[in-house]
Structure 1
Amino acid sequence: MTDGWTYNRQRTLINFLVYCPAGLTFIKSVDASDVVKDAPTLVNLFFEVVEWVGPSNVVHMVTDNATNYTTAGRLLHERYDNIYWSPCAAHCLNLLLKDISSMPHMDYLVSRVSQVTTFVYNHITLLSWLRKRFGWMEIVRPAMTRFVTSFITLKSIYDHKPDLQALVTSKHYTNHKLSRTSKGKSFSSTILDNKFWDDCLIAIKVAAPIIRLLRIVNSDEKPSLGYVYEGMFRTKMAIKNLFNNKKKYKPYTNLFKLCWDRHLRKNLHAVAYFLNP
């Protein structure tokens, strides 16, 4: 399997690893900046690694799902018909969450949640008041690189609903000059908006089955290939059952179908599901 990343000097590194019954083993790290964008050149790097491991010892290669990797994976299978390629399921699910979070209503909701989090953490007087609340735990703040964190932040904000509503209705807040600023008024309006909380709950329920599947395929405890096929089906059905209304669930299931057809609809996943005890 490959794990590619770009560091601050804009150089692309690819880590090559082997997963086998003995566990996960690191092979080598390669600066692939000069070859990663060209599939024929990239596949030569794959050939080199496969030959080092031994073609008969490799049955499956996993990379991300960028076009160059997809083409390189196809060329790899053409040369070694015993080696199958598939994109990283975790990467595909992260992109699915990205697509969902880019839907206009979701994007607006995530933006409001980000504003709430920023407002709280930018004002120590509010944060200090909240930290005195019984059972207080820090709000999970969104990261720039993982789309799943947007939904985890949504869940974290929703869990803090009683604390945040207690804050904006407290004398500590209403008597403070912050409550009279434009951002303070917007913050109060959001926290006291029932539709905001209803939308948060829907977003959480939409993302929950995807995040559960993401945790399964991201786990190093056991092989996860056999869970992708059924996991995608169960996730899709969970969202259908959540809305029970075709007009409401169709925008989400269309994104699921796109992700499945483009990236994860592989014979390998079907066989792994069939053989999974």
Structure 2
Amino acid sequence: MFDVADMHGHHGDGRRVAAVQVIFPQSQIARGKASSAAETGSTDHVPSASSTAADSSTLADKAIAGLPPDLAEQANDSKRKAKSQDPGWKFGWWPDPSKKEFVQCIFCMKVVPSGIKRFKQHLAGRFGDTMKCARVPEVVSKDMQAYLKKNTRSALVLVDDESIEGEDDAAAAPVSKDMQAYLKKNTRSALVSQAAMSSFVVSAPPKPVTQKGSKSVAAMLCKSPEEVIAERHSNKASQSTLEHCTKKGKEVQQIVDDHVADFLYENNIPLNVVNSRSWEIMLESIGQYGPGYRGPSYHDIRVPWLERAVERTSLMTAKHEESWKEYGCSLMSDSWTDVRGRHLINFLANSPAGTHFLCSIDASSEIANANMLADLLENQIDKIGRENVVQLVTDNGANFKAAGRLLMERIPHLFWTPCAAHCLDLLLEDIGKIKYFNTCINQAKRVCRFLYKHGRLHNLMRQMIGGDLVRPGITRFATSFLTLASMLKHKNGLKSVFISNEWQQSKFSTSQEGIQAENIILSTEFWNSVEFCLRASQPILIALRIADGDETPAAPEIMAAMDKAKATIKEALKNKGKLLAEVISCFDKRWESQMEQKLYGAALFLNPGKFFDIREKDRRQAARLRSMFNDVMWKMISNEDEQTKISKQADDYERSEGECFSKAGAIRDRGKKSL
């Protein structure tokens, strides 16, 4: 196996040299050593170990004598050196005994980081990106090279760049003829076939910088791990990238995969950790660091790394607080019950900087009435700053509604808004309770339970439809409609299940449940009702994705999305008058009476991508949105001069007048902009 990496050293002609690791079976290495000894002959002078040691010691003493007195005293201090027979300690010492990864050179007085091995590479030269000592005697340099080669796990050979490119030049370092012949014959094919393995063992390090704080071009162009992962998630589509063009071999990938798997299994780490963004960022950052990264000690992860994490969290919190002061924020509460039966309430703040978790409170011992909830929410508002909180978002429970009204009385500029996603989920529940739709949903659930209850039928279904259905969930009412959509998509496959020979020959085909499931799937009436059910629910599901998504702010979009959903439902069910009336009644009950919030209207007014289309089609609706904007402005801004100034700017925006809004570019790009 060959392992290639650029190394910054100097050959006789000053050319850059590359290091090639050649890993042979022990038998081949032994033969290479034998042939090398035979070719060298007995007439060559080989200095004894004792004479070499004497020369090195003499040179070390002379170098220490030439140091300043304070440094010479440190170099002779045995407490500043490891109690080891390693030859590197003849020529270096710890300038600070508490930082034992730094070793200072007696020849050039340079402090070398990363321990004694790196220091020996500094003396030897031509190892990785280590700068060779400018004043090291040649004898010491050769001794260090010989020691490093002797104690490495694989035979290390230095070869010119031109040899790597395919030319038949001799190797830079003396090796046996057998080894040279092997290299000349196999270098190109080995480099191509083992490129992945070589990059796995060692990667080409960057060239040493000449100025403090300077960066290589590669370092400046390289994206941070966070940017790489964010781009990977945002661009789901398949696209040819440099990463794809330089994929490692399957064997190397499997080695890494096995190590990752062993780590997770041996330490009993929950496997869903691989779904977290921080896991991906960690792997990407280790890959960008390259070979040689050493993980933390128990003390590191327990004390200094934890302290740094706390500092980073504090800085992140400070950025959110700055955003709250500049733009304002929404305080959100989420109440839920855990598996231990505790009533927990989470508090979060949302702003253009993102969503920030504030705290979680165990309210199990309290009566969750309006006054108690209002006091809890007001306490969180005071922590953020009353002047910074624009909106309070809670679920649609009667106690939270009452708490919201109390807080709007206590804090005049505050808006209370029920959670849009929760409201739409309840709207879908109401639509699902309509008798016509309820019968259809129950029939679909009955079929799903039957197919998934029996392993043979489940396997047969998977073969016929090429996968699984979206099954009804417990908490989200939307999943019932998603199940219907999945069944309609696989309509032909489901029918194939119940007309197949396997079904006819199975005992399930004669059971009562089986007969019912077969009659449902082969019923034209069932599939017609599924279609009407989806016509009533799909527009609301689209709005639910907007309200429950994280990609774009929902406030400027949700009102327009719900207006569009209502119009679409009316068109889809226009031939089913009674059914349409029931759906619109549910729509008005949940949305018009609860979610027709002025804050949403103001956000839609300030969304040029939607507002100007509305203005062209429905002047009355545009005037209504402007009225909502005015009401919000007058509630939030108490200063009359500021009210007048904002109102004039809103007039210019609405009429496309003034210096900013009348420009051709501003009018042209309306559709590309939103809040």
TM-score (norm 2): 0.40
State the Cα distance separating 1:144 from its structure 2 match. Answer: 0.9
State the Cα distance separating 1:84 from its structure 2 match. Answer: 0.7
Q: 1:208-219 alignment to 2 at 5 Å? A: 208-219=538-549
Equivalent position SS for 1:81: coil
Say whether residues 1:47 and 2:360 are aligned partners.
no
Q: What amino acid does structure 1 have at the position aligned with 2:342? A: R
Given that 1:36 and 1:68 are in contact with CA atoms closer than 8 Å, whether structure 2 keeps it comes out as no
Q: Distance in 1 between matches of 2:463 and 2:484?
A: 22
State the Cα distance separating 1:147 from its structure 2 match. Answer: 0.2
Say whether residues 1:206 and 2:536 are aligned partners.
yes
Which residue of 403, 412, 424 maps to 1:81? 412
- Structure 2: 5+ residue stretches without partners: 1-331, 609-675
Which one is further off, 211-220 or 154-163?
154-163
Given that 1:89 and 1:264 are in contact with CA atoms closer than 8 Å, whether structure 2 keeps it comes out as yes
Equivalent position SS for 1:263: coil
Which one is further off, 243-252 or 80-89?
243-252
Q: Distance in 2 between matches of 1:224 and 1:128?
A: 41
State the Cα distance separating 1:148 from its structure 2 match. Answer: 0.4
Per-residue CA deviations over 1:134-189 (Å, capped at 9, x if unaligned) read x6121111111110001001111111211111111111111212101111111111
Equivalent position SS for 1:26: strand
Number of corresponding residues: 276
Which one is further off, 63-72 or 9-18?
9-18
State the Cα distance separating 1:34 from its structure 2 match. Answer: 3.9
Q: Which residue of 2 aligns with 1:101?
A: 432
Q: Distance in 2 between matches of 1:67 and 1:128?
A: 46
Given that 1:36 and 1:42 are in contact with CA atoms closer than 8 Å, whether structure 2 keeps it comes out as no
Q: Which residue of 1 aligns with 2:402?
A: 71
Per-residue CA deviations over 1:220-240 (Å, capped at 9, x if unaligned) read 222211222222211111110
Say whether residues 1:155 and 2:461 are aligned partners.
no
Q: Distance in 2 between matches of 1:223 and 1:230?
A: 13
Per-residue CA deviations over 1:65-102 (Å, capped at 9, x if unaligned) read 11110111111111111211100000000000010111
Q: Distance in 2 between matches of 1:228 and 1:131?
A: 37
Q: 1:9-48 alignment to 2 at 5 Å? A: 9-35=340-366, 37-48=368-379
Considering only CA atoms, is the larger Rg found in Structure 1 or Structure 2? 2
Q: Distance in 1 between matches of 2:380 and 2:333?
A: 11
State the Cα distance separating 1:35 from its structure 2 match. Answer: 4.0
Q: Distance in 2 between matches of 1:75 and 1:189?
A: 55
Which residue of 502, 509, 516 maps to 1:186? 516
Given that 1:3 and 1:15 are in contact with CA atoms closer than 8 Å, whether structure 2 keeps it comes out as yes
CA-atom RMSD in angstroms: 1.3
Q: Distance in 1 between matches of 2:516 and 2:364?
A: 46
Equivalent position SS for 2:567: helix
Q: Which residue of 1 aligns with 2:334?
A: 3
Q: Distance in 2 between matches of 1:163 and 1:176?
A: 18
Q: Which residue of 2 aligns with 1:266?
A: 597
Q: What amino acid does structure 2 have at the position aligned with 1:212? A: I
Q: Distance in 2 between matches of 1:57 and 1:221?
A: 24
Given that 2:436 and 2:529 are in contact with CA atoms closer than 8 Å, whether structure 1 keeps it comes out as no
Given that 2:536 and 2:573 are in contact with CA atoms closer than 8 Å, whether structure 1 keeps it comes out as no
Equivalent position SS for 1:211: helix
